[in-house]
Amino acid sequence: MVAVYRSNGWTHANDPERLRRAIQHSSYNVVAVVGDRVVGYARTLSDEAFAVYIADILVAPDRQGEGIGREITQALLDHYPIDRLHHQVLVAERGAEGFYTRLGMRPVGTFGLTAFIRTREPRP
């Protein structure tokens, strides 16, 4: 699992114990495996009633563009159908917007809302 974070340059890989804790406390996880290799991973946090937050979605760089990302994200969305919950939400990396709009997600501004975030990590 750490490898798919590392290969995408995500800092989660720098602290495998912290990543293990994050995965352990996630609500629902989807893992894409080819042979004995993890090639994709996605996880959520949810109150199981109103809201689900899609936390991480990653595909190994050499397996991107094969539909794996769509498949694992769709599996999360299907597990938390919008007719049962109030909303599905996520924070997208710059450049990944088109991936999410293809899956039916919309920027919060579409609904007259604004999203706020507080983070200690500097963003370029």
Q: Which is closer to ligand COA, CB of 49 or CB of 69?
A: 69
Using CB under 6 A, which of 93, 104, 107, 113 touches ligand COA?
93
Q: What is the CA radius of gyration of the chain?
A: 15
Q: Which is closer to ligand COA, CB of 27 or CB of 64?
A: 64
How many residues interact with ligand COA (rule CB under 6 A)? Answer: 18
DSSP state of 80: S
Q: How far is the CB of 49 from ligand COA (least distance, A)?
A: 24
**Any contact of residue 6 with ligand COA (CB under 6 A)?**
no
Contacts by 65-69 with C-beta closer than 8 Å and gap 24+? 68/32, 68/39, 68/40, 69/40, 69/99
Q: Which is closer to ligand COA, CB of 61 or CB of 84?
A: 61
- Residues 29-88 interacting with ligand COA (rule: CB under 6 A): 57-59, 64-70
- Residue 124 class from Cβ within 10 Å (0-12 exposed, 13-18 middle, 19+ buried)? exposed
The DSSP-derived string for 104-124 is T---GGGGT-------SS---
Binding site for ligand COA (CB under 6 A): 8, 57-59, 64-70, 92-93, 95-96, 98-99, 102
